[in-house]
Amino acid sequence: MSTYEIGGRTFTSRLLVGSGKYPSFSVMRDSLEASGTEIVTVAVRRVDLTDDSSEGFWAHFDKEKYTMLPNTAGCYDVKSAVTTARLAREATGSDFVKVEVDNEGLLEACRILLDDGFIVLPYCIDDPVICKKLEQMGCHAVMPLAAPIGSGLGIRNPYNLRIILEQISVPVIVDAGVGTASDAAVAMELGAAAVLMQTAIAGAD
């Protein structure tokens, strides 16, 4: 079975899954198990990582089984994104971070976090120039959006995505808007290393 590598760690599953929007942590746990995923992204500003009770997040998340990918969702400037990433590392022990901030601050935030020793996966628009700059500064993967987040519209601009895939060598993980299995198949056929799905899974019947 083929693999890909991020930050010195090797992965087999081509599906990344989010931890939010589920009706309960127990449903989240069962969904992660069923998906076969190895990487789970967590919006650390929206989850109480200090709750170690039987009803809390940690009681339903297997740290030995999954690589946690904390994200900075809800941050709108460099300072808040960097602070959130640092707090997430302290709370979770994970060096991985999915950087989510506005376009203007993304490059600066990634540069700071790389200098801090993070394994940086920036979430970005499907702009080949931005993706190339992120690779050149040392980001360990890039996560261009396929469509507006939560829209389930599929890959709206396969041409941009193809250019990104042709010009950079780090893993490309297609994020946002991947709403169906066929959307994921298109991303993989184009050459993506993996896809991230959240709303389509958490909102399924």
- Domain containing residue 111: CATH number: 3.20.20.70
Domain that holds residue 108: 4-202
pLDDT at 52: 80
What number of residues does the chain have?
205
Interacting residues of 64 by C-beta distance below 8 A, sequence separation 6+: none
Under DSSP, is residue 4 helix (H, G, I), strand (E, B) or coil?
strand
| Tokens (6 digits) for 134 | 């992120």
**What was the pLDDT predicted at 128?**
95
Confidence at residue 150, expressed as pLDDT on a 0 to 100 scale: 67
- Burial profile 137-158: b = 16 or more Cβ within 10 angstroms, e = fewer: eebbbbbbbbbeeeebebbeeb
Tell me what pLDDT residue 57 has: 87
Give the residue ranges of the chain where pLDDT is below 70.
Answer: 1, 150-152
Half-sphere CA count of 85, side-chain side, radius 13 A: 28
Question: Which amino acid, 37?
Answer: T
- Please tell me which residue in 21, 63, 79, 98 is annotated as part of the active site: 98
> How many separate domains does the chain show?
1
Q: Return the closest-CA partner of residue 10 out of 171, 145, 176, 189.
A: 171
**Paired tokens of 9:** 């760690």
What is the pTM assigned to this prediction? 0.91
Give which of 181, 203, 191 is closest to 15, Cα–Cα: 181
Whether residue 21 lies in the annotated active site? no
